C-alpha cells in the first residue's frame, strides 16, 4: 500500500510515495536493500520506537510521530551506522530523503496525515 504524507500545519506534501513497513520482517529489512531514496519517496515504519542506520548505504531524514500524527522528534541527515533512541510516545517513524525536513518546513509539533495515494 502506498500513501501520501501531508504536513497539515504547512500544507506541504512531505512524500507522495510512502511505503509502509508494518510487519516484523518488513521493519527488519527497512531500507537496507536500497541504495537511496528518491525525492518524494519515504518509508513509514509502524510500530517503531527508534531506528538505526547500521548497514545502510546512505543518510536519511527522520521524523518520529506519536499516535495522533504529531511530530515529536526529527533528525536531519542521519548518517549510516547511527542509532536514534526512541522519544517517549513514538508510535512510528517516517524515513525520508535528506533535505526533506528542511524543504517541507516540518517542525516539532506539526501534524502529519497519511492518505491513500491515488496515482503517481
List of domains in the chain: 2-116 (2.60.120.1140)
Question: Do the Cβ atoms of 1 and 44 come closer than 8 Å?
Answer: no
Q: What is the DSSP letter of 111?
A: B
Residue 50 has pLDDT above 90, yes or no: no
Query: Average pLDDT in the 59-64 region?
Result: 97
pLDDT of residue 15: 97
Report the C-alpha gap between 98 and 82 in whole angstroms.
15
pLDDT bracket for residue 106 (50, 70, 90): very high
Q: Is 118 exposed, middle or buried (0-12, 13-18, 19+ CB in 10 A)?
A: exposed
Predicted local confidence at residue 22, as pLDDT: 92
Residues 98-110, mean pLDDT to the nearest whole number:
97
**Average pLDDT of 21-37?**
91
Amino acid at each position: 500500500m502506498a500513501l501520501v504524507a501531508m504536513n497539515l500545519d504547512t500544507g506541504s506534501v512531505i512524500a507522495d510515495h510512502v511505503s509502509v513497513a508494518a510487519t516484523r520482517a518488513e521493519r527488519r529489512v527497512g531500507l537496507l536493500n536500497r541504495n537511496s531514496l528518491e525525492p518524494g519517496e519515504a518509508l513509514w515504519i509502524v510500530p517503531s520506537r527508534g531506528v538505526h542506520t547500521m548497514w545502510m548505504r546512505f543518510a536519511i531524514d527522520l521524523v518520529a510521530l506519536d499516535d495522533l500524527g504529531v511530530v515529536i522528534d526529527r533528525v536531519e541527515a542521519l548518517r549510516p551506522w547511527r542509532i536514534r533512541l526512541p522519544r517517549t510516545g513514538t508510535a512510528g517513524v517516517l524515513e525520508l530523503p535528506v533535505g526533506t525536513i528542511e524543504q517541507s518546513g516540518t517542525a516539532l509539533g506539526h501534524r502529519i496525515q497519511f492518505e491513500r495515494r491515488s496515482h503517481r
